[in-house]
Amino acid sequence: MKSLGVRAGLLSVLLFVVFCAAWQLAVTPSASTGPALDPEYAKLMGISTAGAKSAMPGPLDVAAKLWDNLKRPFYDNGPNDKGLGLQLLYSIGRVALGYALAVVVAVPIGFLIGMSPLAYRALDPFIQVLKPISPLAWMPLALYTIKDSALSAIFVIFICSVWPMLLNTAFGVGAVRKEWLNVARTLEVGPWRRAFTVILPAAAPTILTGMRISIGIAWLVIVAAEMLVGGTGIGYFVWNEWNNLSIANVIVGILLIGVVGMVLDLILARLQKRVTFPE
Amino acid sequence: MAERVNAERFISIEGIARRYPAAGGSFTTIFENLWLQVPRGEFVCIIGHSGCGKTSVLNILAGLETPSDGVVVVDGQAIEGPSLDRAVIFQGHALLPWKSVIGNVAYAVSSRWRKAGRAEVEERSKRFIDLVGLKGNEAKKPAELSGGMRQRVGIARALSIEPKILLMDEPFSALDALTRGTLQDEVRRICKSTGQTVVMITHDVDEAIYLADKIVLMTNGPEAMVAEVVENPLPADRRRDSIHREPDFYTVRNHLVDFLVARSRTFKDEKPAGYDPRRPPLVRLGEPVAPPPINTIPFPAVATARD
Ligand SMILES: Nc1ncnc2c1ncn2[C@@H]1O[C@H](COP(=O)(O)OP(=O)(O)OP(=O)(O)O)[C@@H](O)[C@H]1O
Ligand SMILES: [Mg+2]
């Protein structure tokens, strides 16, 4: 009896193969439709009837394109022709900047809000209104005030990552068990030391949950933001390839967006695991 | 003279009260006008029914709560807030779960001696972990320990800062009988050898008899009071395995159980003549407070026979 992991892995591979086969089958024109097309007409339209291909690429085309892109990920031939790796780096860089900014702002402010029931009550209505706003709705305002599309994209990332972290930090800090705080009090631990040695470790799992939600949202939003703003980034790449009608490249882009998103989530999951403590 | 007064009233609870706002703008008085003195080096147990306010009294002693009225004076100084001089062993161990055993103890040690070097803190923490019999478990996290072991870490943490007073809130109530017994032995040994002043809360009459020099009886709440302070007549060298054969054992035990079963409820309405909450009567069993009438046998007979 093989372990569950091995069996699950085999099943995954099988599903992948079946999916690719179905995909390939779906895009290969069947023999019956071939002759239905008048060869003369087809010739006029610039399609060869022998071994005709639909516009939708199959898995092999995508794999070939992917390989092409992976071979030279960082070339730069001007604004509309950059390596995929380069485009991804642009996106990751924007996310990293906006996200880091959000961490720097949200965690300390969340800390203060969590420690003070008054601040929590006072700020709650604002947070409740601001939180559900789609980050892209900020875009025009950002473009108008910042007057720089690159910075605006970073701002949008910032604004969408800030809320989950802010709320989770405030909640985690507010929910620190009283007995742990009492331990610190009986040991005459000062406020700074208490914040870093008791409250922060106790709230860390909740804070990291917020950070993990935020990175997910940030990665979702950057693609849309780059489609709007244009210029560079994986979102722009996908949009640009759509304009070029290169569906294979679009699919490659989609795939890579998924992979990077997964990696980002994995990193945060690792960190989360590290700060989580069993009780 | 002042020295002596300070030693006799090392801890002096002076008229403290605890009130909580109740529905309709009034107040529920958990207890008020509570007075109690604990001499230096004494082991005092407080017993009383659930909800009478024992934890509140202990938290006020610890400085974690402020009384609605009155003060607590320790070693000649009114307490204002928690202090490293008063270590607390909490009912639910209260270990920091993200720190290892040694991390938890070292946290206390480094709070007490802020300038101490790393090696020094570690050495001291290890010593106290050894003292409670946890050698070899230093690196474990609280989640990897049994209930008894966790409580031991709590004890090590409290003792490691060499407090003037050790405060314990039902430290063993969550443990099985066997573990409880071993830990009681250890706490008694350690406290006796260092002359530690201890205030401990318990539900367990036998635990109080085994550990305490004096047992404080609290009546039922609300408006609980200290009915009396019972001096433990058992010899200082009592042992767990033979304690039930001590001549006075059942005298004390019956007295305490009687109190918990009946008098804790009725005391309020049948206060003995001359009861003064400022000076709760000190009861010496086996040696009646008032001289007995000539024609009665002193109670209990055995105790007098031994004397
Ligand atoms: N925040 C509060 N608001 C209102 N009443 C409270 C509050 N905290 C405690 N009390 C009341 O104060 C009383 C004393 O509580 P305390 O915890 O001191 O009891 P206890 O003697 O330690 O009981 P136990 O033996 O069950 O631990 C209880 O009746 C409780 O209902
Ligand atoms: Mg209690």
Q: Confidence class of residue B303 from pLDDT cuts 50, 70 and 90?
A: very low
Could you tell me which residue, A166 or A148, shows the higher pLDDT? A166
pLDDT tens digit sequence for B124-140: 999 999 988 899 999 99
Residues 6+ apart with CB under 8 A from B126: B102, B138
pLDDT tens digit sequence for A223-254: 999 988 888 889 998 998 888 888 888 999 99
Q: What are phi and psi of B245, to 5 degrees?
A: -100, 0
Average per-residue pLDDT in chain B?
A: 87
Q: Confidence class of residue B301 from pLDDT cuts 50, 70 and 90?
A: very low
Across the range A6-11, mean pLDDT stands at 94
Beta bridge partners of residue B282, listed in sequence order: B229
DSSP readout, B253-270? HHHHHHIIIIIHHHGGGS
Hey, are the CB atoms on B81 and A278 less than 8 Å from each other?
no
The atom number, within ligand 1, closest to the CA of B170 reads 27
Across the range A252-257, mean pLDDT stands at 91
Which residues of chain B have a CB within 8 Å of the CB of A197? Answer: 107
Nearest CA distance, B158 vs chain A (angstrom): 10
Largest CA distance in chain B: 70
pLDDT tens digit sequence for A165-179: 999 999 999 999 999
B56 Cα–ligand 1 center, Å: 7
Nearest CA distance, A198 vs chain B (angstrom): 8
pTM of the shown model: 0.82
In this prediction, residue A50 carries a pLDDT of 47
Q: Kindly state if the Cβ of B27 falls inside 6 Å of ligand 1.
A: no
Q: Half-sphere exposure (CA, 13 Å, Cβ side) for B224?
A: 25
- Residue B163 above 80 pLDDT? yes
Q: Using CB atoms and an 8 Å cut-off, which of residues 26-45 of chain A contact chain B?
A: none
ipTM here: 0.84
In this prediction, residue A30 carries a pLDDT of 63
Across the range A179-197, mean pLDDT stands at 94
Which of B64, B87, B161 is opposite residue A185, by nearest beta carbon?
B64
In this prediction, residue B297 carries a pLDDT of 44
The two structure tokens encoding residue A165 = 């972290």
In this prediction, residue B256 carries a pLDDT of 93
Q: Does A192 touch chain B (CB under 8 A)?
A: no
- From residue B94, give the alpha-carbon distance in Å to each of A242, B41, B97, B124, B150: 60, 26, 8, 21, 9
In this prediction, residue A44 carries a pLDDT of 59
In this prediction, residue A45 carries a pLDDT of 58
Average per-residue pLDDT in chain A?
A: 87
pLDDT tens digit sequence for A66-121: 888 888 888 888 777 778 888 899 999 999 999 999 999 999 999 999 998 898 88
Beta bridge partners of residue B78, listed in sequence order: B73
Question: Residue with structure tokens 């989640």?
Answer: B143
Residue B258 to residue B283: CA distance in whole angstroms = 14
Across the range B23-37, mean pLDDT stands at 90
